[in-house]
Structures are given as C-alpha cells and as structure tokens.
Amino acid sequence: MIKCKDLYEIFRRNELVFFTGVPDSTFKGWMKFLNEMHGKGLTNRIAAIERDAIGWAAGYYIATGKIGVVYMQNSGLGNTVNPITSLADPKVYSIPMLLMIGWRGEPGKHDEPQHIRMGEITVPLLNVLGIKYSILPESIDDAEKTIMDAKKYMETRSEPYAIIIRKGILEDYDKGTEKQKFELTRENAIKLIVDMMDGDEIIVSTTGKTSRELFEYREKSGSGHQNDFLMVGSMGLTSSFGAEIALQKPEKKVFIFDGDGALIMSQGALSTIGYYSPKNLYHVVFDNQSHDSTGGQPTTSITLDFEKLALANNYKGVRTTETKTGLLNAVKEMIKKEGPQMLIVKVRKGARRGLGRPTTTPIENKEAFIGFVR
Ligand SMILES: Cc1ncc(C[n+]2csc(CCOP(=O)(O)OP(=O)(O)O)c2C)c(N)n1
C-alpha cells in the first residue's frame, strides 16, 4: 500500500502540484491529504463535474506551462469524453494532463451494479480515446517509475496520460475528526420527512448514502420500496429524472432527495425545472457541504447561496432549515404550496457505521416503482 505522503513526494519531484476533479472513495485518503495540503505546496481545485476538471487543468497548462492532474472515479470518465476529444486531444489543442482514475467495478472484483459496466469498459474506453495508460503499481518504487514515465510521455507528446488506481492501493489517510456544526444528520432528516408523508408521494433519491439510508428506513418501517427511485449511479440526475416524473404525473407529489454535490454537478437542470415549473415538485437538498459518500471531501456549497440559485431559476419558493422543529415546520408549509419548491436542509457530515446497501436489484427497484407510478 502506498502512503499519501510518499505519493505526494513523487508528484512534487515531477512538478505535478496542481490537482482538480471530483472525488472517489477508491482514494479517499488521498483526497483528504490533498484537501489538507491545499495552499501548502499544492493546489486542489474542487470541480463541480469531471468535465470541468478537464477545463481547469487545461487552463492551468495554458497559463503556466505546467501539467495538471485530474482525479475522478471511473464513473466520471464518460463526463470527460467531450473535452478530452475536443480540447485536449492532439488533433485539437494537444494539452497534456494526467488523469488519475479510480477503478470501481474492476473485472473479477465484487462491486455495486452501477459500477459493473464502467469497470469493464474503463480500459477499452481509454483505448478508444487514444489515451495511453498505466495501472498504478503497489510498490512505491514502481509507482515512482510509472509517474516519471507518464510525465516524460506527456511532455514529449503534449497529450493526456491516465493512471488507473485500483481499490486498496493508496493508504486510507485519516487525520482526526472535524467539528460538526449542524444538529441534524442526513439520516434523521430523511426519516423526519418520510414520516410526514401520507404514503402516496414519490421520492427520487440521489447517489450515495442518501439512497442507502432511505432504503434502510423503508426496510425498517416495512413500508416497501415502491414509492422510491434510488438513483444509485448517474450522480446529478435526480433533478431532471424527478422533475419529468412530476410533469408526467401531476396528481402525485414528487420529492427529490438531493445532495449538495449532486445538485452542484447538475445546476443546469434547475433552469429547465424552473422553465417548465412542475407544480407538484418538492426539491429537498441535504447540504452537508461535502461529498460525504466518498469520504467527506468539501464541495463548493459553502460559497453558494442555494436560495438565490433556486429563485433565479424560477422556483416558486425556497427555504433553509437546520433544526428538527424548523424542518417539520418547513415541510408542513412547503407541501401546501405550488411547486417547484426547494428546501435546503443543513446537515452534519457522516453516516451511521454499518449502513447497508440496497438488497434489491436496480431492476427490482425499477419494476416496483413503475408499478406504483404508472
Ligand atoms: C459522475 C460521478 N462522479 C463521481 C461519483 C462518485 N460519487 C458518488 S456519491 C458522491 C458524493 C455525492 O455528494 P453529495 O451529492 O453532496 O451527497 P452526500 O454524499 O454528501 O450525501 C460521489 C462524488 C459518481 N458516482 N458519479
């Protein structure tokens, strides 16, 4: 296993000190390290979506002549295909950058359904894109040689290069716990909202622990899963998916359970939602100011005014709360109003230990949900 500090020293010796991307749990220790070291010898530019990270790294190269490192989970590789082929590719601007890709769904290893296809096609996709790659070796000396060779390749050819990171290769760096400023956990907030429903509402819940917590609560309360669509992959798509269901099924109240990271990733969808304005749409954002599901890395939510964002996009109303009583009151008031409405719930980072994963398959989830919705 490679220590974060040792990996950083290799990057530093190779003048690779600019990092940008969207986090992945495959290297969550490394992400934590980058966040802590930001401004102290390296830059960690938090990107909203992987495709933007290609833009940040390209801008960095053009401005400084130095090569940036773009990190991502392989689920985000598809989001980079357009800027890789139309900006970084040697047939266009020929911009070198090092892609650091976490390999979920590696063939032969157990992983969740949403990672299987991308795990299989990660290497073929790099081949199709014409990107040379290596798999990061486990020994530090071999890792150093890989990164040095990658640097040489990028410099001589002025092209992107990819390093694929298997699960368990990088150390799980942890440096103490952080102070928590909010009263509610995301799981508590989910339970409180679900308990206020009368059973006929639809919930579309976002990628990561939100969907896992909702699933477990439904299991525990024995209410079945038919009302819920768990968006286990496709981060950011709960908003468009949920809003279209609301437009097609105006007689049902549709709740979107979103995360700040996922909402930021798909901010454009808010504009479409506001334009078509489904009256029955209630968009709840659990804002823990982080990508909690991949290890709690910061998002840019701290400088984002969600209330202004929603109103600027033509939502009919918006409210923010951070307490239990505030939440109960806000939901009671919100569902009396015409949508689209947004409710921002400020929650603590973190989840319960031992939180499970859905035990039904996505196909079972889809079929039960269709049965309820149609
Ligand atoms: C396109 C894409 N990029 C990255 C990921 C990895 N990923 C899964 S959940 C998650 C964090 C989501 O953060 P947020 O929406 O704020 O919800 P939280 O986990 O904080 O509840 C990330 C980065 C992914 N699934 N898909």
pTM strictly above 0.85 = yes
| Domain 186-373 in the same topology as domain 4-165 | yes
CA of 309 to the centre of ligand 1 (A): 20
Q: What integer is the mean pLDDT of 112-137?
A: 97
Class of CATH domain 186-373? alpha beta
DSSP of 262-314: HHHHTHHHHHHHHHH--TTEEEEEEE-SEEGGGT-EE-SGGG--HHHHHHHTT
SS3 200: coil
Q: Where are the domains of the chain?
A: 4-165, 186-373
pLDDT band at residue 179 using 50, 70 and 90 as cut-offs = confident
Q: What percent of the chain has a predicted confidence (pLDDT) above 90? A: 95
SS3 350: coil
For residues 26-41, one letter each, b for 16 or more C-beta atoms within 10 angstroms of the residue's C-beta and e for the rest, the string is bbbbbbbbbbebeeee
From the list 47, 41, 50, the residue with the least C-alpha distance to 15 is: 41
Ligand 1 nearest atom to the CA of residue 293, by list position? 19
- Would you state the pLDDT for residue 181? 86
Q: What integer is the mean pLDDT of 52-76?
A: 98
Class of CATH domain 4-165? alpha beta
Q: What integer is the mean pLDDT of 249-271?
A: 98
CA of 74 to the centre of ligand 1 (A): 12
pLDDT band at residue 319 using 50, 70 and 90 as cut-offs = very high
Ligand 1 nearest atom to the CA of residue 258, by list position? 15
The residue behind tokens 């508590």 is 188
Q: What is the mean pLDDT of the chain?
A: 96
Residue 246 has pLDDT above 90, yes or no: yes
Residue 172 has pLDDT above 80, yes or no: yes
Residues with CB under 6 A from ligand 1: 22-24, 73, 75-76, 79, 186, 206-210, 233, 235, 259-262, 286, 288, 290-294, 299
Using CA positions, which residue lies closest to atom 18 of ligand 1? 292
Ligand 1 nearest atom to the CA of residue 286, by list position? 21
CA of 291 to the centre of ligand 1 (A): 6
Residue 175 has pLDDT above 70, yes or no: no
Residue 177 has pLDDT above 90, yes or no: no
Q: What integer is the mean pLDDT of 241-251?
A: 98
Find the DSSP H helices in the chain: 4-13, 28-37, 50-64, 81-83, 113-129, 140-157, 186-195, 209-221, 238-248, 260-265, 267-276, 306-312, 324-334, 362-373
